[in-house]
């Protein structure tokens, strides 16, 4: 398993902003913090947990490259 390169980042959102954001890898909700990591081809990605970086490397990235997305 590759080493994780990302780190936790706080998200700041004023209380009267009631919008939400989603994980770039799995689509789950992003709340007070994000697991941010960089990818040489896809740039900076905000994910919901370190597990998503692993999933990205192991599964999502190869597929997106194969599909010609990115």
Partner 1 sequence: MKLDSVALKILQNRLVNICQEMAKAMMRTAYSPIFSESLDFCTILLDRNGDLLAMADMNPAMLGSGALSGKWIVEELGREAFEPGDVIVDNDPYRGMCHMPEHLLLAPFFHGGKLAGFVGNVAHVGEIGGMAPGSFASNATDIYQEGLRLPPVKLMRHGEYDESIWKVILANHRTPDNTWGDFNAMIGSLNIGLRRLEELFEEHGADELEEANVALFEHAEQWLRSEIRELADGAYSGEDVIEDDGVEDREYTIRVCVVVDGDEIVVDFTGTDPQARGPINAPYTVTLAATCNGLFQLFRDFPLNAGSFRPIKVIAPPGSLVNVVHPAPCVAGQTEIQPRIIDLIQGRCLAQAVPERVAAACGGTCSNFLFGGVHPETGRYYAHYHFDGMGWGGRRFTDGNSAQNVPHGNCPNTPIEIFETRFPFRHLRYSLRPDSGGAGRTRGGLGILREMEVLADEVTVSALYERMKREPWGIEGGRAGKRTQLLIRRAGEDEFRPFGAVFGTVSPSKFTNIRLRRGDRVLIATPGGGGYGPPSERDPELVLRDHQDGWISQEAAREEYGVAIA
Q: Which residues bind partner 1 (CB under 8 A)?
A: 18-20, 22, 25-29, 31-32, 51, 55, 59-60, 63
Smallest separation, CB 44 to partner 1 (Å): 17
The answer to whether 50 touches 2, Cβ cutoff 8 Å, is: no
The answer to whether 25 touches 60, Cβ cutoff 8 Å, is: yes
Between residues 25 and 45, which has the closer beta carbon with respect to partner 1?
25
Smallest separation, CB 49 to partner 1 (Å): 10
> Residue 21 is inside which H or E element, if any?
strand 21-22
């Amino acid at each position: 398993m590759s080493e994780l390169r990302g780190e936790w980042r706080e998200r700041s959102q004023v209380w009267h902003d009631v919008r939400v954001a989603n994980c770039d890898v799995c689509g789950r909700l992003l709340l007070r913090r994000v697991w941010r990591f960089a990818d040489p081809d896809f740039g900076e990605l905000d994910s919901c947990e370190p597990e998503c970086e692993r999933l990205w490397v192991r599964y999502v990235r190869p597929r997106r490259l194969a599909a010609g997305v990115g």
